Amino acid sequence: MKTHLLLTSNFPPLHDGIASWMSQLARHYGDDAMLVSLGSEPGQGASDARQSVRIDRMPIPRARLRNVPGILAWARRAAILAREHDVTFTWCGNLKPPSYVGWTLHARMGIPYGVILHGTELLQMRRHGSGLRKRVIARTLLGSAAVIVTNSEWTRTMTLELFDDLKIRIPAERVIAVPLGADLDRFHAGIDTSKVRAKYGMNGGRWMLSVGRLVEHKGQDQTLRALALLRDSVPDLRYAIAGSGEYGSELRALASALEIVDSVNFLGHVEDDELPALYNVAELYVGASRVAVDHVEGFGISLVEAAATSLPVIADREGGMPEAVIDGVTGLLADPYDPASLAHAIRSLLDAPALAARLGAEGRRVAESRYSWQRVARDLRAIADAHARGARA
């Protein structure tokens, strides 16, 4: 059986958008056609046991696969897998280090590869990649790829602009946007919320929700400021923040300074099987990510998960977010740098239940028509099949 190999640095038990993306891609690829290759991670045993895909883990911690000895070891293991499983195409789930390994398989065994770009690495290349050595590496890794896939049209445009800036000559038709998705069978309205409410103390009040790592560019700080502006006019409004990260202490200090501690619930990491019920607790979803120096939201999986749950969504006007949220149709767009803009959008939905319901219903409809993981995996597999070794021209 022909196999497509996925090399990735992000995969469960990691809890981030790229890890979820890679897991869903492998799960829905179909016909047991994908084999996942990656490094070791604490907690991998229980996590891998829950997966329904083929996984081959290196006995090397993920972080050590970023250095030269780790990359060489990964390349050797990937070559063994390629021979044993008749690999005809390789997907690199991250630019570095997986594309080093993908390039090696291509150079030594003639296996075509594709690179998946998420947005943040493009900002980092733009800031740090102007030197000759880094430009040569980027030209080699990306220029040798059979195809480059981005997670939104915005990321695709940024990719082409960066290639032009760095004089990386790659035909535009080799850069393809494949917007991401949600698990529509898991994320939907009507799920019992009693256990989640009891566990996280979310009984009573009107809840808005954000799900994501606690990092500065995700914008939870601006949502806290918007909540403070609404404190007097909507005293029963509550804000649940699901996720963990290095920015958590700053967010807690900000909530204290704004005197809204009693209205904010820092949930910490929420297990995947609890997320569908958590979305059902909320009245609206807020994703206020903004472009930072080295970070950007190329699309926003949580926005689509919220829409699939029939929640009206508030997002910002930067990055790939406007592609995931259609302003006035599935949600509202606001200025992520202006808490008053966020507060106005939030109040607009709280004060107009009929509008909120209409946006939520349309969000579910759009998710069903455009944003299923089945469609994402089908698109990626079709691209790989077209470029696979031995494919007919």
User: What does each of the 393 residues of the chain score in pLDDT, given as a tens digit?
Assistant: 789 999 999 999 988 878 988 999 999 998 889 999 999 999 999 998 988 899 999 999 999 999 999 999 999 999 999 999 999 999 999 989 999 999 999 999 999 999 999 877 776 676 665 566 777 787 888 889 999 999 888 889 888 988 887 777 888 999 999 988 889 999 999 999 999 999 999 999 999 999 988 888 788 999 999 999 999 999 999 999 999 988 899 999 999 999 999 999 999 999 889 999 999 999 999 998 876 545 555 567 889 999 999 999 999 877 777 778 889 999 999 988 899 999 999 999 999 999 999 999 999 999 999 889 999 999 999 999 999 987 654
Q: Which CATH superfamily is domain 3-181+373-387 in?
A: Glycogen Phosphorylase B; (3.40.50.2000)
| Fold matches, 3-181+373-387 and 194-370 | yes
Question: Whole-angstrom Cα distance, residue 345 to residue 356?
Answer: 11
Please check whether residue 81 is in contact with residue 35, taking contact to mean a CB–CB distance below 8 angstroms. Answer: yes
Quote the CA–CA distance of 343 and 321 in Å, as a whole number: 18
The sheet with strand 237-242 has its strands ordered as 264-268, 237-242, 206-211, 284-287, 313-316, 331-334
Tokens of 146: 């059979």
3-state secondary structure of 204: coil
Radius of gyration of the chain, Cα coordinates, nearest whole angstrom? 21
Contacts of 115 (CB under 8 A, 6+ apart): 92, 95, 98, 99, 102, 141, 142, 145, 147, 148, 149
Note the CATH architecture for domain 194-370: 3-Layer(aba) Sandwich (3.40)
Confirm if 151 and 178 have CB atoms less than 8 A apart.
yes
Q: Using an 8 Å Cβ cutoff, are 304 and 182 in contact?
A: yes
What's the rounded Cα separation, in Å, for the pair 377 and 29? 5
Question: Domain-by-domain residue ranges, the chain?
Answer: 3-181+373-387, 194-370
Q: Cα separation of 260 and 248, whole Å?
A: 15
Pairing of strands 331-334, 313-316: parallel
CA-to-CA distance for 57 and 175, rounded, in angstroms? 29
> Residues 238-276, buried b or exposed e (16+ Cβ, 10 A)?
bbbbbbebebbeebbebbeebebeebbbbbeebeeebbb
